[in-house]
């Protein structure tokens, strides 16, 4: 049986993995679904001073306090930034990395610096300006959630996702990931899976799926749904994770 840590994307809390976590636990696996500082049930801790580093330490704290080893880390969207940093810091504790429609940064890259690399030039300013303008309003430093419909989430789940997502600090998107040594980071973890949500656009994640297609140590799968795979296809995601961990 495997140990899974499911790291969320921006604006989300552990609630989004509810059904995937249940399916994994029903199959006998151990599952942790940490919520980042300021998100989900920890929204009362929200502050514009929260950064990517805060969220990396949130998940690192689970690994350390639970004394976990041989962990399969799954990071959704922004969560790809988090699990990349964790792989660099504690590769000996990590069995595999699953990037779930997620950003895969290199040393010195932030989420916002990845956007122009992964989106057409006519599209990325819409996302980037939206994030920064929302944070500038009233000098709040917080980004409003992107509506579920923009991410192609199924109509039956859009209201739930929109209701549960909360503002997140712009600093989490601006701070670069800093990797040790030669910056190889995730290359120290031998098994990696990229899951592309293949039913929404414009998606920056097609860039990463194409980048790792056929690359040694990587597998790439596609799922016919919108960005929140764990919401629209929770059982299928659980099965993909179980196959990956086998």
Asked if 77 is an active-site residue, the reply is: yes
Closest CA to 2 of 66, 63, 70: 70
CA–CA separation, 87 and 207 (whole Å) = 21
CA–CA separation, 39 and 35 (whole Å) = 6
Closest CA to 230 of 19, 3, 52: 19
Q: Is 121 in a helix, a strand, or coil?
A: coil
- Other CB atoms within a 10 A radius of the CB of residue 238 amount to 24
* Side-by-side strand order, sheet with 218-223: 30-32, 3-7, 71-76, 94-100, 192-197, 218-223
Closest CA to 229 of 186, 198, 191: 198
Q: Write down the catalytic residue from 77, 110, 154, 203.
A: 77
- Other CB atoms within a 10 A radius of the CB of residue 64 amount to 12
How far from 114 is each of 26, 124, 179, 203, 238, CA to CA, in Å?
37, 10, 16, 12, 28
- Dihedral Cα 79, 208, 203, 160, nearest 10 deg: -30
**Residues with active-site annotation:** 77
């Amino acid at each position: 049986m495997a140990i899974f840590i499911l790291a969320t994307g921006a604006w989300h809390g552990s609630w989004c993995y509810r059904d995937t976590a249940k399916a994994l636990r029903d199959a006998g696996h151990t599952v942790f679904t940490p919520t980042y500082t300021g998100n989900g049930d920890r929204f009362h801790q929200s502050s514009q001073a929260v950064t990517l580093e805060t969220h990396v330490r949130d998940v690192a704290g689970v690994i350390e306090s639970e004394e976990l080893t041989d962990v399969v880390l799954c990071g959704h969207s922004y969560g790809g930034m988090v699990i990349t940093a964790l792989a660099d810091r504690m590769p000996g504790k990590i069995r595999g990395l699953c990037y779930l429609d997620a950003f895969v940064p290199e040393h010195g890259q932030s989420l916002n610096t990845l956007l122009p690399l992964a989106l057409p030039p006519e599209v990325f300013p819409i996302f980037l300006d939206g994030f920064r303008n929302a944070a500038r309003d009233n000098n709040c430093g917080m980004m409003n959630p992107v509506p579920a419909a923009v991410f192609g989430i199924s109509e039956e789940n859009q209201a739930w996702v929109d209701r549960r997502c909360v503002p997140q600090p712009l600093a989490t998107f601006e701070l670069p990931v800093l990797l040790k040594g030669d910056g190889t980071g995730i290359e120290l973890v031998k098994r990696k899976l990229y899951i592309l949500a293949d039913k929404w656009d414009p998606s920056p994640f097609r860039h990463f799926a194409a980048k790792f297609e056929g690359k040694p140590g990587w597998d790439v799968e596609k799922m016919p749904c919108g960005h929140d795979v764990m919401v629209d296809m929770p059982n299928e995601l659980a099965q993909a994770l179980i196959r990956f961990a086998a």
